[in-house]
Amino acid sequence: MLDGSRGVGAEGGVAVRGEAVNQTHTRLRMPVERAFARLKHWRLFRKARCSPNRLTSMVQVVLTLEQQR
């Protein structure tokens, strides 16, 4: 018998796997979200007038510094 709230049957096999995938996705996404939040606090990037290649290396430096905090 199908249970509409769980997805598939009483055990909820597909729904449980979906929850596991969501948890893994969330765990991987959290550091990236935090990194972008920290980059927004660094005002260096607001009016940068240099090449995008240079900005890429600056972003790497900032994220490395933030990770070491």
Q: Could you give the CA distance from residue 53 to residue 32 in angstroms, rounded to a whole number? A: 20
Question: The tokens of 55 are what?
Answer: 């900005």
Q: How much is the CA Rg of the chain, to the nearest whole Å?
A: 20
Q: Where are the domains of the chain?
A: 13-68
28 vs 11, 13, 33, 56, CA distance in Å? 27, 23, 9, 21
Rounded to two decimals, the pTM is 0.49
pLDDT tens figures, 3-53: 445 455 555 566 778 888 889 888 888 888 888 888 888 777 777 888 888
